[in-house]
């Protein structure tokens, strides 16, 4: 890189840093749809954070927010009212330390608390599902109907006829044991890829490597995670 290009790059980076930035917890992005926030409402909250933390503007006007988001001040007002009504947002009054005058500022701590509560509940439910799945894997399943029931519990819904047919093919044609299928389901849950297509790939990989029982499958999965190849 030439000196001229390097200088231009350095100046650009310095200018970008002077613009300031906003720290954003991934928790907010993961949970906002589950909290029944629309994309526009979440973006409005993020813009409020941006105005406060990067621009030192604690109480931007609806017109300023509308210009930033490419919408109307009326639409901004409606979203602000909804966010305040549902306790994602409050307006705090305080005495400005510089002017001594009473001022207002937006407070989005309600959003943070709701996101934290959802995240904690989600983790509890995930742990509960994992414990149930471990128990189901340890206890032999005595019928295909019970196997379908375990899948429905993990998917959180009834299986479609196509999904039932897929599991039946695993049992009747591919000759996978019920315990092996349950272990593949557990692997999919832990990987965060809960779909029959992903489970089928796990079973196919085990079959390709001549895995025939649960102990061999666990050993193969452990070897794969540690970077080994069989």
Cβ–Cβ < 8 Å for 181, 214 = no
Considering the four listed CATH numbers 1.10.10.630, 3.40.50.1100, 3.40.50.620, 1.10.10.10, the one that applies to the domain covering 140-225 is 1.10.10.630
For residue 222, pLDDT over 70 is answered with yes
**For residue 30, what are the contacts with CB-CB under 8 A and spacing of at least 6?**
119
Per-residue pLDDT of 1-44, as tens digits, reads 555 655 554 555 455 445 567 788 889 999 999 999 999 999 99
pLDDT attached to residue 172: 86
For residue 141, pLDDT over 70 is answered with no
Distance CA 197, CA 204 (A): 10
Instruction: Give the CB-side neighbour count of residue 51, counting CA atoms within 13 A.
Output: 22
3-state secondary structure of 195: coil
| Rg, the chain, Cα only | 26
Band (191; pLDDT cuts 50, 70, 90): confident
Distances (CA, A) of 24 to 45, 84, 109, 113, 177: 11, 21, 13, 14, 46
pLDDT attached to residue 12: 52
Q: Can you give the pTM of this predicted structure?
A: 0.55
Per-residue pLDDT of 147-180, as tens digits, reads 888 898 888 888 888 888 899 889 888 888 888 9
Q: Where in the chain is the domain with CATH 1.10.10.630?
A: 140-225
Q: Does 23-114 carry CATH code 1.10.10.10?
A: yes
Distance CA 2, CA 213 (A): 61
Average predicted confidence (pLDDT) for the chain: 84
Per-residue pLDDT of 100-113, as tens digits, reads 889 999 999 999 99
For residue 206, pLDDT over 80 is answered with yes
Band (50; pLDDT cuts 50, 70, 90): very high
């Amino acid at each position: 890189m030439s000196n001229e290009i390097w200088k231009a790059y350095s100046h650009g980076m310095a200018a970008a840093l002077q613009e300031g930035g906003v720290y954003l917890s991934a928790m907010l992005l993961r949970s906002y749809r589950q909290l029944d926030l629309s994309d526009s409402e979440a973006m409005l909250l993020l813009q409020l954070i941006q105005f406060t933390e990067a621009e030192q503007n604690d109480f931007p006007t609806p017109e300023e927010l509308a210009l930033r988001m490419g919408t109307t001040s009326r639409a901004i007002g409606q979203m602000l009212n909804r966010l305040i009504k549902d306790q994602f947002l409050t307006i705090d009054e305080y005495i400005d330390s510089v002017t001594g005058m009473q001022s207002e500022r937006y407070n989005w701590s309600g959003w943070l608390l709701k996101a934290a509560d959802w995240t904690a509940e989600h983790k509890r439910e995930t742990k509960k599902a994992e414990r149930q799945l471990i128990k189901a894997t340890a206890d032999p399943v005595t019928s295909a109907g019970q196997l379908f029931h375990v899948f429905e519990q993990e998917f959180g819904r009834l299986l479609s006829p196509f999904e039932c047919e897929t599991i039946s093919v695993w049992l009747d044609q591919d000759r996978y044991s019920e315990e092996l299928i349950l272990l593949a389901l557990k692997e999919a849950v832990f990987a965060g890829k809960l779909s029959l297509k992903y489970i089928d790939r796990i079973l196919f990989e085990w079959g390709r490597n001549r895995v025939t029982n649960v102990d061999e499958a666990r050993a193969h999965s452990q070897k794969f995670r540690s970077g080994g190849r069989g």
